[in-house]
Amino acid sequence: MKIVRKLLNIKESKTDFFKQIKAVLGFSPLYIDVYKTAFIHSSTNKKDALGNPLNYERLEFLGDALLSSAIALYLYNKYPYSDEGYLTQMRSKIVNRKTLNEIGLKLDLISLVNTSMSKSKMGTNIHGNILEALIGAIYLDLGNKYCQKFIANQIVKPLIEQGNWEGRIDSYKSVMIEWSQKNRKNLIFETYEDSGNDKTKHFSVKLNIEGKTVTKGRATSKKKAEEMAAKRAYFAIIKKLK
């Protein structure tokens, strides 16, 4: 079996997919088939030999858990005197959808996705989802050592090199809510009727503080509209106080 796998790897090493995966990883994969699975989108409706769905979703589940654990270990060692609250906050700045999407996009992982639908219609989360699936594939192929190496080189180090990643704000809504509670201010996000003429449905939100509308936000989802209103409020109120 080992001889057969070695021969298959020699053959696979000449393919474009193998070369692209190696370039992303920074080291050579061993069992290339698990990486192929990491890039299969559910729209293909592929099945394995037993008739089970064959796509990246199970690997994404595994990669999500591995990433969270790896980041927790990194932060635990880097900040030996920080409490649980601080470590949790720092982990959330790294292991969040926005950050993972940005990293997945930068690595151009979507170019390797095997899909039956237009990639332009997949949404931004596909980048982070595939990144997590790739992490799961690395673990199954080469184990924890190489999994940790990839996470350090492609996720942690780039964030640190950006500078001020510890002070990065990923949720202005959370910041505003925390500020309102600390200062005993009544803060409410109010969704109101959107009268726009866009073909795509939009949501409009008012951010009210002490009964007064401070800012507004409008986006294709309620969550995004709230975040937009909160960001505007942050720069209008909190940022000015610093």
Give the residue numbers marked as catalytic.
64, 132
Q: What's the token pair of residue 12?
A: 């696979």
Long-range contact list for 70-78, CB < 8 A, 24+ apart? 70/147, 70/148, 70/151, 71/95, 71/151, 71/155, 71/156, 74/151, 74/152, 74/156
Q: What's the token pair of residue 101?
A: 């999407």
Q: 């003429």: which residue's tokens? A: 197
Q: What's the token pair of residue 142?
A: 């080469």
Q: How far is CA 164 from the centre of its chain?
A: 19
